[in-house]
A and B are shown apart, each in its own frame.
Chain A
Amino acid sequence: MSHEKKIPLIRLAKRDGMEGWKVWCIRCGSILFALLLGALVMGLAGANPVTAYGTMISGALGKKSAIRQTVKIAVPLLGCALAIAPCFKMRFWNIGAEGQITAGAIAASYFALFWANRLPSPVLLLVMGLAGALAGGLWALIPAFFKAKWNTNETLFTLMMNYIIIGVVRWLQGGPWEGRKGSQIIPQFDEAACLPRVLGVHCGWIIVLVLVVFMHVYMNHTKHGYEIAVIGDSINTARYAGMNVGRVMMRTMFLSGAISGIVGFIVASGANNTLYDGVAGGVGFTSITVAWLSQLNAFAMVGISGLLAVLSKGAETLQTRMAVPTSISDIITGILLFCMLGCEFFINYRLIFRGAGRKEARHG
């Protein structure tokens, strides 16, 4: 009896091999739970939750024009989630995608602003895309190099790099690339430097879908992908197997940065048709959530980024039609993400209550 008291009220135990249907029960349950919590929040804000959810869905998917806008929001999220997936698989915490997007956008904008008259449109766009990829890749290579050489902390390093590159854009906006004096606005790109539209949305959506397939193959069916997985599991094993860990890190970060740079090119050329300091707009961080929720599965990312885009566009419509502040929708999105990420905990661990412990143990 006496040692019974020393056992904490709740203990955690790792569980493995939960049956598939149970896993999905928990996942669906958590989404349901999140929606109900969200309904509570909406109720407190003074909106009828049923109408509100209906408005969100119809606002995001109800009309052709709405779907186009939703897709436009999803494109950079998906692209950037694909970019950071290999880093996270390798357990290299790249939270600098924001800066890598910005670096790519700067390089692409340079050609858009100063080469638009000299190159035919398709060549110009290709050059912009390549320049974006190169700039994003090099920007990402810097922290990777320091990590490989001197084992610096990549989380802090990549984060700090964001602020530097965003500062560079601010300088360009107010200085050499400024349009009307004092306006802090870089002029809109020439028509030739804007991504053409396919089905009403800039064709960045096609580029990211191609990247989905590429990333799936790269991660699962190539030697590079295998090396990344091994390093992610254990650096020592990778070394023992004769892999050059530093080189793989730098190579992977370059690839990750390059894809982020392409996203930067897509956003600057396709969506904004100009460059400004908010070009990444938090995508570099939100996409981390997308990548985790998809468990680094490239195809799952399509769905998750779509879901987030629906929520985001739906929130805008909610504000327009029902005058619900967008911050309320942010809260609801937050609850949903929290529950979805949180339920993985219950899938991987089980709670053992005091007293029940012994019985459980005998069964186990």
Chain B
Amino acid sequence: MKKFLALLLSMILVLSLAACGGGGGGDSTPADESKPADAQPPADSGSEPAEGKTVKVGLICIGDENDQGYTYNFIRGKEAATEALAASGITVDWVVKWNVGEDSGCEDANIELAEDGCDLIINNSFGFEPFMLKVAPDYPEIEFIACTNQASWGDNLDNTHNAFANIYEGRYLAGIVAGMKLQQMIDEGEISESEAVIGYVGAFSFAEVISGFTSYFLGARSVCPSVTMKVQFVGSWSDATEEANAASALADMGCVMISQHSDNTTPATTAQSKGVFHTGYNNDMISVAPEASLIGTRINWAPYFEYAIESVANGESFDQDWCHGMDMDAVVMTDLNEAIAAPGTAEKLAEVEGKLRTGDLQVFDTSTFTIEGKALESAFALDTDGDFTPDSEEAVFDGAFHESYFQSAPYFALSIDGIEWLNSAF
């Protein structure tokens, strides 16, 4: 009994010591950090006038910035938009939820942010949309954005939005860089005309991916007429090992140029180790593969975030379905690797980019590709009855397939001649 009491007392002593340590250590700095967050919401409700507005924006991410790819690209956009808005007197108070799954956890995250007083909630992944749509009707005063998805035009809700960028324009330019390199290799006798084969590592046979590699291929063929392409799907948006395996297999099949629609840099490093070239996505990959990576392209989310947040700050409504490209710098090219790119690439890029901006050049010009030997004359853009097959809005007119014209999410899902799908299981 006495022993037990002694033990109890000594435990209490130890615990109280720990308490002092814990309390003391924690109090000093973090208190300052937590206070502004607590103090800000009341501040913004009080200050309505033009100058010094504060908007509280929630951002739900499928990953975190360490992915150096998809989510990292959003964070870049977030930071650039915050800076630009600060210049026009708008303070953005961000609340970010990391590593949220595409399940009811996403619904909870939306509720949590709505209850926390966000004026605008951005969902960054395609699969978040159905869960966001369960929350949006309960908070009509809050604006909800589902990036890369497509329900807003048909969900009868005024506070839901979709956004994407014309990334196919960036792909087309990257394709030109690749095509010029291949043509240079042919001209210098390094490879024969028929050996100009591109290998493409794709995530899934999803419209966004198909649209991307088709525009890339069309860009390459516009400067290297003999080029062909093989596409290998890996069945994951982000699987470093599988992406490397696919790139390696493609190189072994004779592909001398690798590109990708997947999140990791492993296709770039694999290309370098196999002695072939590469163009990237989401991020500049020259640093990891300086001898292989020619250029990359990425979506720049800053212009859209800026536009949406500014509209919310001013109490204005904004587009329910937003999609821009080079015209608003929503699609940007990463630095060109001048050391290995074909001579004259930079000039050619500038020229084509100018044409894309003015609209003189259509990426999906129907005179530049065929499907089973025939020119494309008709293709629908939208699915209105929910069976996942497009059945409305003719996308082919004025001599081109108009991608991302009727809705922001890409809908070009056709298989054109010259591109071989190695597996379509995904």
Contacts and interface: CB of A to CB of B under 8 A. Distances in A.
Interface of A: 22, 25, 29, 32-33, 36-37, 39-40, 42-44, 46-51, 63, 65-66, 69, 72, 174, 179-185, 187-188, 267, 271-274, 276, 278-279, 281, 313, 316-317, 319-323, 325-326
A65 B115 contact: yes
Given A36-B19, A180-B383, A182-B205, 19 more contacts: A29-B11, A36-B22, A39-B18, A40-B18, A47-B26, A48-B34, A49-B23, A49-B26, A66-B115, A179-B388, A182-B207, A183-B127, A185-B102, A317-B112, A320-B112, A320-B113, A321-B37, A321-B38, A326-B98
Nearest to B33: A46
A323 B388 contact: no
A321 B36 CA distance: 11
B11 A185 contact: no
A322 B101 CA distance: 21
A32 B388 CA distance: 55
B104 A72 contact: yes
A312 to B, nearest CB: 10
B38 to A, nearest CB: 8
Contact of B19 (A39, A183, A276): A39
B103 A276 contact: yes
A300 to B, nearest CB: 25
Interface in B9-23: 11, 15, 18-19, 21-23
Given A46-B29, A72-B104, A181-B207, A32 B115 contact: no
B19 A322 contact: no
Contacts of B31: 48, 51
A274 B26 contact: no
A46 B104 CA distance: 30
Contacts of A181: 205-207, 388, 413
A47 B15 contact: no
Contacts of A63: 115
Interface residues of B, number: 52
A313 B33 CA distance: 22
- Which of A49, A267, A278 counts the most B-chain CB atoms under 10 A from its CB? A49
- Contact residues of A: prevailing secondary structure: helix
Given A48-B30, A65-B115, A180-B388, A185 B127 contact: yes
A332 to B, nearest CB: 12
Contacts of B37: 321-323
A25 B12 CA distance: 11
Nearest to B31: A48
A42 B23 CA distance: 10
B21 to A, nearest CB: 7
Contacts of B127: 183, 185
16 contacts: A22-B4, A40-B21, A42-B26, A43-B23, A47-B26, A65-B115, A69-B108, A180-B388, A181-B206, A181-B207, A182-B205, A182-B208, A184-B204, A184-B426, A272-B103, A321-B116
A32 B134 CA distance: 39
Contact of A40 (B25, B30, B95, B425): B25
A51 B104 contact: no
Contact of A65 (B27, B101, B111, B210): B111
Contacts of B27: 43, 48
Contacts of A180: 206-207, 383, 388
A181 B410 CA distance: 12
Nearest to B115: A65
A43 B26 contact: yes
Contacts of B38: 321
A33 B4 contact: no
B88 interface: no
Contacts of B253: none
Interface in B24-57: 25-27, 29-31, 33-34, 37-38
Nearest to A64: B115
B229 interface: no
A276 B109 CA distance: 18
B235 interface: yes
A69 B388 contact: no
Nearest to A170: B235
B348 interface: no
Contacts of B235: 174
Top-3 shortest CB links A-B: A182-B206, A43-B26, A39-B22
B30 A319 contact: no
Contacts of A278: 101, 103
B22 A40 contact: yes
A353 to B, nearest CB: 10
A316 B23 contact: no
Contact of B22 (A49, A183, A317, A322): A49
B26 A183 contact: no
